[in-house]
Chains A and B, each alone.
Chain A
Amino acid sequence: MHNEAILPSGTMTAHRPPGVVISAANLTKTYGDVAAVDGITFSVPAGESFGLLGPNGAGKSTTMKMIGGVTRRTSGNLSIMGLDPDTHGPEVRAHLGVVPQQDNLDEELRVRDNLLVYGRYFGLPMSYLKPKADELLEFAQLTDKAKSKVDALSGGMKRRLTIARSLINEPRILLLDEPTTGLDPQARHILWDRLFRLKEQGVTLILTTHYMDEAEQLCDRLIVVDKGRIMAEGSPAQLIREHSTREVVELRFGSERNAAIASRLEGIGDRLEVLPDRVLMYAHDGESALEQVSARGLRPLTSLVRRSSLEDVFLRLTGRSLVD
């Protein structure tokens, strides 16, 4: 039942390459002198999970708000399902489900009523909304909270309710702005599982995150953004292949000594990155790099060989870490 035409045909969906649901060209948003989004270009085909990975202040939320048709762009082109959100705001928003960075549930209403009320904004009839709300509560594992007040919910539950709410109109495109920020690991995993299911159903997911594990888990393809610009684009594996080595050795010599010892590590692996608390040694084969470290008579307090991650990609591209 979920493989019906992903792209509704019709007069409103003209002028776009087949399969592309979102395209942005030179998208820019300035606030006064600050360029929150500074000329970014990307497009997203139907059914893809597309991520924006970047640190705080990178311009992720601003981009999401422009896609969501709630913030006007300063310049550039933007089209969602072939529609310009500046001129077809209601039509664009009717296609979307939106999970904003900050929950904005109606705390005065009960959990289930939040879904009903939201569905009414899409002109959906109660005969559809009532069973749909129950189905979504089940999906969000909130069935036994249906009659609770929203302010009695935990952070993770509120987030799941926000996701349930965003699905009330059965959108084929879902915008998720930092869906799991501030949640504990268990709550994050529950959420990831729910998002996977949506992905399996063919829903296009656009999500922002500053967690590299989230990006690796959920995104087919992503752009790394920093200061409103795209630093790199590709699948997580591609990005790691292009911008990092296969493995990384993390060495800790004690905060004072990391920098001093780094010079004695020259030549091992492809590249060194000295952070205040540790030294990162990039190498194709971590174990053998670690052996060379011991061979030079160096004894780190702790050492760890791991696979390269998007965190390493980001560090490479910007010289800074994702999470500060």
Chain B
Amino acid sequence: MTEPLAAPQPALRAHRPEISAAKARRWGAFYYAEQVLRVMKGYSWSIVMYSVGQPVAYLFAMGVGLATLVDSGNAAFGGVSYLAFIAPALLVSAAVMTAANEFTFPVMDGFKWRRIYYGPHASPLTPQQIAAGQIMAVTLRLLLQSAIYFAAVALFGASPSGWGWAGILVATLTGLAFGLPLMAYSASITEDKGQFALVMRFIVMPLFLFSGTFFPLENLPPAVRWVGWISPIWHGTELGRVLSFGYHEAPLLTILHIAVLGGLAALGWLLTRRRFALRMGQ
């Protein structure tokens, strides 16, 4: 076979605008997700290091260090090792921390700092699709990170039940339950006055500490127990424990965890869509 030399270049032609619009209406959110993932790929190395390093450090410190001081097999810990008790909590908390980062600074960057959203905004994409695309990309990141975390947990032998892997989904859902309302808030900020640092310090950290993470919520004085009840981290952690080692709780409570997490995520998504559409249509 001989290739014809210097074959005439076929004229490049974009498809018609009608086709662009129809495709964007249908797949726009995915197109934007693709872009966010492409940017994430630029720092994928640090994402992977963070995703691997964090669980290994925590599990080692908690499981090997702290666990020797804590009475393992204590009934309060559901009859499992202390490490198995806190592993679902660490998994969920890590997802929430990542979500807290991914749904704050990048949103400010989109609307204000570098105005990244306004490029795609002039394309056939809608503001709602831009929001959805970012959410989808972060969801993927949460799934990946949680899967790595879970693998580390399993290696440390801290996931006794065969259902532990479902904690990956629980952690991701919890990340969204916390992150999406936060995203709606981020999208409403017009002046950066260090709000995100306050969110980390006065919301994320207290929730991390007082959501039944390191000890059962019942050990807290009743006056602060409500922190756990309203905390997505608590709902996610308890759900994770049920899956990971058959933690004993009323079935109705398990359903409530799912409902709270799903409800918060859905509400956050709706509010975010509204905010994006309002702010970009001005």
Contacts and interface: CB of A to CB of B under 8 A. Distances in A.
Given A117-B35, A120-B35, A121-B24, A68 B122 contact: yes
Interface size class for chain B? 35 or more
Interface centre among B16, B17, B21, B282 (most CB of A within 10 A): B17
A11 B31 CA distance: 26
B17 A121 contact: no
B122 A100 contact: yes
A121 B25 contact: no
A1 B34 CA distance: 32
Given A1-B11, A104-B119, A8 B20 contact: no
A interface SS class:
loop
B124 A90 contact: yes
Given A70-B122, A93-B124, A106 B39 contact: yes
B interface SS class:
helix
Interface in B113-134: 114-116, 118-126
Interface centre among A128, A135, A169 (most CB of B within 10 A): A169
B28 interface: yes
Interface size class for chain A? 35 or more
Interface string A117-158: 110111110001001100100000000000000000000000
B124 A118 contact: no
A197 to B, nearest CB: 16
A321 interface: no
B38 interface: yes
Contacts of A168: 14
7 contacts: A90-B24, A91-B17, A91-B21, A93-B123, A94-B17, A96-B122, A109-B42
Given A68-B122, A91-B17, A121-B125, 16 more contacts: A12-B18, A70-B121, A90-B25, A93-B124, A94-B21, A100-B122, A102-B115, A108-B42, A117-B34, A121-B32, A123-B23, A123-B24, A128-B12, A128-B15, A132-B14, A169-B20
Across the A-B interface, give the 7 residue pairs with the lowest CB-CB distance, nearest first. A123-B23, A121-B123, A94-B20, A94-B17, A122-B20, A94-B21, A90-B124
Interface of A: 1, 8, 10, 12, 68, 70-72, 81, 88-91, 93-96, 98, 100, 102, 104-109, 113, 117-118, 120-124, 128, 131-132, 135, 165, 168-171
